[in-house]
Amino acid sequence: MSSNLKIKRICAWCGKEFIAQKTTTACCSKQCANALYKKKKRDEAIKANNQFVEKKIDEKPIERIKDKPFLTITETAIYLGVTRPTVYGYIKRGELKVTRLGFKYLLKKEDIDELFNNPTEFHTPTKEKTPITDFYTTAEVKEKYHVNESWIFLVAKKNNIPRTFNRGKTYWSKKHVDAYFAKKAPDPDITEWYSTQEIQKKFGFISGDAIAWVGEKLNISAAHVLGVVTFYPGLRQMCPGKNHIRVCRTLSCAMAGADSLFDAICTRLGIDKNGIDHHHPIGVSPDGLWSVEGVECLANCGFGPNMMVNDLLYEKVTPEVLEEVIAKYQTG
């Protein structure tokens, strides 16, 4: 409900005359009100700061302690114009002696003054930098160490590798680049290596330790390797059973009954289907002999539902075919 009052006022901020509808209105607009509010807050902060400074000046801490024969840790810091940790450093190094009285530590004023009777000459430490004269171009680093361009810039930033620019080209310190790769060089005593696929084939899955190991040996981050492992459905991070079943769950197989097949496998082998999700895609039987997971297309779309047991494909899998396959592997 609007007011019928019309009161002539002078804006407290810009000084213009305006018509107000409340007796408490001080400004002609919201902008002026905001500016006035900020000024008041600023003035209050300045006033509080000035009062604090004036109080400190009036206290004159040096005047209070200059004639005292013994000083506390805090008073010693004020007297020397340093921090309390600095005073504790003098005490730990034995440069100042301290006496404990109850909960207080006291230092003799004369011991403090004695610090200045044996001044030492101060030398600013200087470290001469060896000029960098040998450089690689980005292309030369890529060719020599078989890395991509974005990786070079990322590693150089992370490890502070010096670089310079000339006519649109980036040049990298040869000494620093070689030193970085020398640290990452593989052990010359190791002559046999595993690829990611070979690790899975041998151990059944790719563990977190294996991902970190592959990244270290290839001079790439573990996250990079993890991205590859999670992108390809043929690579897995969980340990499967002795016989691993992969059920195709894409559209054509789903329409042919893949979901019913998946449920039948879990029921037949005693696998808890509720424990299978995006983060735990593999279900393992209690005896560890069987495991199951849903996978992407097995490239046999016209003959669904399809499943693979280890590396062998089975098509048009009915409950009867499923029983035959399980019996085959149990007896084999």
pLDDT tens-place string over residues 229-259: 878 767 778 888 888 899 998 899 999 999 9
Q: Contact at 8 Å (CB) between 308 and 299?
A: no
- Of 107, 117, 111, residue with least CA distance to 75: 107
Task: Give the confidence band of 1 by pLDDT, cuts at 50, 70, 90.
Answer: very low
Read off the pLDDT of each residue in 303-330 and give the average, rounded to a whole number: 89
Q: What is the pLDDT of residue 2?
A: 55
CATH classification at residue 311: 3.40.30.10
- Of 73, 115, 68, 76, residue with least CA distance to 94: 115
Residues 250 and 320 in one domain: yes
Residue 309 is assigned to a structural domain of this protein: yes
State the Cα–Cα distance between residues 226 and 2, nearest whole angstrom: 65
Q: What is the pLDDT of residue 186?
A: 66
Residues 175 and 249 in one domain: no
Residue 128 is assigned to a structural domain of this protein: no
Task: Give the confidence band of 332 by pLDDT, cuts at 50, 70, 90.
Answer: low
Residues 310 and 259 in one domain: yes
Structural domain tally of the chain?
A: 5
Read off the amino acid at residue 307. Answer: M
Q: Contact at 8 Å (CB) between 38 and 47?
A: no
Spatial CB neighbours of 59, under 8 Å, sequence gap ≥ 6: none
pLDDT tens-place string over residues 253-262: 999 999 999 9
Percent of the chain beyond pLDDT 90?
17
Residues 202 and 253 in one domain: no
State the Cα–Cα distance between residues 156 and 202, nearest whole angstrom: 36
Task: Give the confidence band of 166 by pLDDT, cuts at 50, 70, 90.
Answer: confident
Is the pLDDT reported for residue 140 higher than 80? Answer: yes
Domain hosting 255: range is 243-331
Spatial CB neighbours of 155, under 8 Å, sequence gap ≥ 6: 161, 180
Q: DSSP for 183-218? A: HHPPPTT------HHHHHHHHSS--HHHHHHHHHHT
The residue with greater pLDDT, 90 or 3, is: 90
Strands 163-166 and 169-173: antiparallel
- Reduced to 3 states, what is the DSSP secondary structure of residue 135? strand
Residue 17 is assigned to a structural domain of this protein: yes
Q: DSSP for 242-265? A: SEEEEEE-SHHHHHTTHHHHHHHH
